[in-house]
Amino acid sequence: MPFDAFAEADRLSAALRRLAPVPVDPAPVIRTARPFHGARLGEMEGLARAWHREHPGSAAEEVLSLADALWRRAVREEMVLATMLVGRHREAGCAFGLRRLDRWAALLDNWETTDNVGSRVLGPWAAADPGTRLAALERLAHRRNPWLRRLALVGCVYPARRPDAVCWWPQVAGIVLARADDREAAIPKAISWVLRAYARRCPAEVTAFLEEHGRALPAIAVREARHQLATGYKTGRPGRRAGGPAQAGSANS
């Protein structure tokens, strides 16, 4: 039987509404124009896991067509679930493509959906081949849409997880500098994530970078990066580990 992405999207949408049957005001959590039911990310993760268990061996094009059908609904839960489905399918993540990213980007209007795209799709994609793919993040960092600029920075976090992270630091540092004077609210915290991620992998290089460019960078990013270098914590004290892109659902802004 042919795969029906729209029927699957209808089924998943109904499951999401059951998780949070009464829409809530998103304002205490995020600022968004998208409908917001209020389902928890952990519950949505469970739904994504269950779907993949029910569809073993699903083709990348099937996962991507389902993700597209969910994303186009422009509802917070459907959009986040779309990123989860792609992120759990290696071949779908590799085939996601920058053209699809451009289509999805038209609906980005808040940190949560942006960070889920960055942490589940774009970041792993960049980390798989930073030698060729960091150039795409460089271009993204100059886009007019501030959420795409934030997305570029979130994507830069993931090559820091590679054992050869120091090799990619000069290119990542250039992306950070390109956004150093960007005071859109979406940007400074994302710069902090990048600096703290590389501070763990190549502290000498990040220390030198802060010494040279610290005055040009957002104060919060410099402060948290220096705390990370000195103590291993973004606040400079135990109890609050360095945060990252809002994949886990914390209220980062």
Q: Where are the domains of the chain?
A: 1-96, 111-253
The answer on pLDDT for 99 being more than 60 is: yes
* pLDDT for 236: 75
Give the span between the Cα atoms of 185 and 111, in whole angstroms: 10
Per-residue pLDDT tens over the stretch 100-111: 999 999 999 999
CA distances from 176 to 207, 215, 231, 235, 242 (A): 14, 13, 23, 21, 18
Mean pLDDT (whole number) for 22-50:
91
Structural tokens at position 98: 């920058």
Q: What is the mean pLDDT of residues 164-178?
A: 98
User: Alpha helices of the chain — where are they, by DSSP H?
Assistant: 5-19, 41-54, 60-71, 76-87, 90-94, 98-105, 111-117, 123-128, 130-140, 146-157, 165-178, 188-201, 203-213, 219-231
Q: What is the mean pLDDT of the chain?
A: 92
Helix axes 165-178, 188-201, angle to 10 degrees: 160
Output the pLDDT for position 29.
80
Query: Does residue 250 contact residue 243 with C-beta atoms inside 8 Å?
Result: yes
> In this prediction, what percent of the chain has a pLDDT beyond 70?
94
Q: Pick the residue with more confidence: 79 or 24?
A: 79
Instruction: Give the C-alpha separation, 213 to 177, whole Å.
Output: 8
**pTM as predicted:** 0.90
Q: How far apart are CA 146 and CA 183, in angstroms?
A: 10
Structure tokens at 216: 């040009």
Distances (CA, A) of 93 to 40, 63, 82, 122, 180: 23, 9, 11, 8, 29
Lowest mean pLDDT of 8-17, 21-30, 80-89, 180-189, name the range.
21-30
What average pLDDT does this structure show over 31-36? 92
Residues 225-243 have a mean pLDDT of 80
Under 8 Å CB-to-CB from 166, ≥6 apart: which residues? 201, 202, 205
CATH class for the region spanning 111-253: mainly alpha
pLDDT for position 27: 83
